[in-house]
Amino acid sequence: MKSIFATMACCAVATSMYASDGDATSYDALNTPVETTSTVAAPASSAAGATEDWKSVFSKMVKVSGYLQTGYNYNSLGSGSSSFQAKRLRLILDGQVCKNGSVRVQIEAFNGIAGSTNGNGQKNLQVMDAFFTYKFNPAFQVRVGQFYTPVGYENYDISPATLETVDFSNICYRMACRNAIGYDFIDYGRDLGIMLMGDLLPSAEGFNYLSYNFAVTNGQLPCKDDNNKSKDIIAALTVRPFKYFNIKAAYNYGEYQGLQDLENEDGEEIPNKYLPMNRFVGGFWYNNPTGLDLRAEFGYLYGKKENITVAHETGFYALAGYHFGKFFPVVRYDMYHDSLNKLSLNNYDRVLLGCTWEPFSNLKVQLNYMLSMYGKDVREASNHGESTSSQLQLMGLFKF
C-alpha cells in the first residue's frame, strides 16, 4: 500500500511540474484542461505553501473515506451471549486514473462474520472491492476486477453505512452473499469478473427510468481463481416509473464444484464439478428521504442435476420505516427456508423492531430488537429446543 501511495505522490508532483511549464493550458490530476493566467511558473512563496499545493493535488487524485461500526450485542440463542463488538471497520480509497476512469479499493479490517478469522479466532483483513470503472457515457460503463454483484437491493444498492438496520436480511446473507453448493458461508457478495452497466431514459426530475447490469464472473470466493471452467452469468434490471419508486429483478446462473460427489437412484456416482444453480431475487422499493421508506424482496435459489436436487431455498422480507427528522423507526419481517437443510437454525421467521438516530451525517446510532421463531424440525434438532430466540443490538456507525 505504501508503494501505491508513493507512486501516486510522484505522479502528482510530476503533473504539477509539467503543468507550470510554459503552456497557456495545463492539465490537473484528473486529466482535465485548466485555464492558466500566466505562461511562467511562479515560485513557491514558502515551504508551507508548497506542501499545501501538494496536498491539494493529491486530494484530487485519491479520496480516502471509511467507517467504523461498533457497539453491544445480546443473543438468547442456546446458552446465550453478551458482548461488546467491533462489527466492521472499512477503509475506502477512490482514485481517478483518467478523465472517465476510476479505481476503488475497499479493505475491511474486521467484521462480525463467522469463519473470517485467523488461527487465534481474531478477525482477519479482507479485500472487499478492487475494481476499475470506465464511463463511456451514463448509458454504458464497464467495470473489471473484484466488485459487489447486482443481486438484490441490499448487496448492490445499499451498504452497511446506508442500511436501515444493523444487519442485512437473510436473502442478502444466504442467497446473494453465499454459494449454496460450493461453500456454506458468507462470501461478502463479491466476485471477480467484468460487468457492463448503465442508466437509460433520464427524466426531467433528475432520475433515470431504467438501469441495467450484466456481469460475467468466476462464481468463486473473492480473491481466488476459479476452480472450474464455467462462469457465472448475472443480469439485473431496475425500472423507475416515478420518483422515489423502483422495481428490480436479478437473475444469476452458474455451475459450481460441490463439496462431495453425488449418487443417483441407481447408486451411480455423479461428478460434483459442474453442479448447476439458478438464483433469482426481485422486489420493489419506495424511499422518500423525508418520509416513507418501504421495501420488499423475494428470493429463490434452485439447483438440480440428473434428477437430484442440489439446492432449494426460498426467502422473503418486507421493511417499512418513516423519516422523522433525525429519527427513523423501522419494522422488518424476514423469512427464510432451506428445503434440503430443514434442521438449520437459519430457517426462521424473524420480526425486527428498530430505530436509527442520525444527529449529523457522519454518525448514526441504531437500536434493533429481533424475535426469531423456529419451526418444529429446528426445535427438535437444536440443543436448546426453544421455539423462539431474542437478539438486542446497540451499534454506532462513525463515518470519516
Pairwise CA distance, residues 400 & 396, whole Å: 13
38 within some domain? no
Task: Single out the residue of 303, 321, 323, 322 nearest to residue 312, CA to CA.
Answer: 303
Q: Quick one: CA torsion of 279, 131, 231, 225, rounded to 10 degrees?
A: -120
Report in angstroms the alpha-carbon separations of 141 from 85, 91, 102, 194, 237.
38, 25, 11, 11, 15
Cβ-contact 237, 258 below 8 angstroms = no
8 within some domain? no
3-class DSSP assignment, residue 322: strand
96 within some domain? yes
Helix (H) or strand (E) holding 316: strand 308-322
Task: Provide the residue count of the chain.
Answer: 400
In 323-362, at which residue ranges do the beta strands (DSSP E only) sit?
327-338, 348-360
Place of cell 448475472: 234
pLDDT in single tens digits along all 400 residues of the chain: 444 444 444 444 333 333 333 333 333 333 333 333 334 444 545 566 666 676 677 677 789 999 999 999 999 988 889 999 888 899 999 999 999 999 999 999 866 555 566 666 666 788 999 999 999 999 999 999 999 999 999 999 999 999 999 999 999 999 999 999 988 788 889 999 999 999 999 999 999 999 999 999 999 988 889 988 999 999 999 999 999 999 999 999 999 988 777 777 767 777 888 999 999 999 999 999 999 999 999 999 999 988 889 999 999 999 999 999 999 999 999 999 999 888 888 899 999 999 999 999 999 999 999 999 998 878 777 665 678 999 999 999 999 9
* Helix, strand, coil percentages, rounded to 5, for the chain: 10, 55, 35
65 within some domain? yes
Look up the domain containing 233 and give its range: 44-399
| 30: its cell numbers | 484528473
The confidence score (pLDDT) of residue 227 equals: 87
328 within some domain? yes
Pairwise CA distance, residues 175 & 184, whole Å: 10
Pairwise CA distance, residues 192 & 103, whole Å: 15
Number of domains present in the structure of the chain: 1
Cβ-contact 214, 193 below 8 angstroms = no
Report in angstroms the alpha-carbon separations of 77 from 73, 84, 342, 382.
12, 17, 18, 10
Backbone angles phi, psi at 395, to 5 degrees: -130, 140
324 within some domain? yes
The DSSP secondary-structure symbol of 16 reads H
CA angle 377, 378, 379 (to 5 degrees): 95
Task: Single out the residue of 245, 242, 241, 132 nearest to residue 194, CA to CA.
Answer: 132
Task: Single out the residue of 12, 94, 21 nearest to residue 53, CA to CA.
Answer: 12
3-class DSSP assignment, residue 369: strand
Q: What is the CATH number of the domain that holds 205?
A: 2.40.160.10
265 within some domain? yes
DSSP string of 192-238, one letter each residue: EEEEEEEEEEE-TTS-EEEEEEEEEE--S-TTS--SSS--EEEEEEE
290 within some domain? yes
Q: Pinpoint the alpha helices (H) of the chain.
A: 2-19, 47-61, 153-156, 170, 376-381
Pairwise CA distance, residues 349 & 373, whole Å: 5
| 306: its cell numbers | 440428473
Handedness of CA 193, 186, 334, 121 (dihedral sign): negative
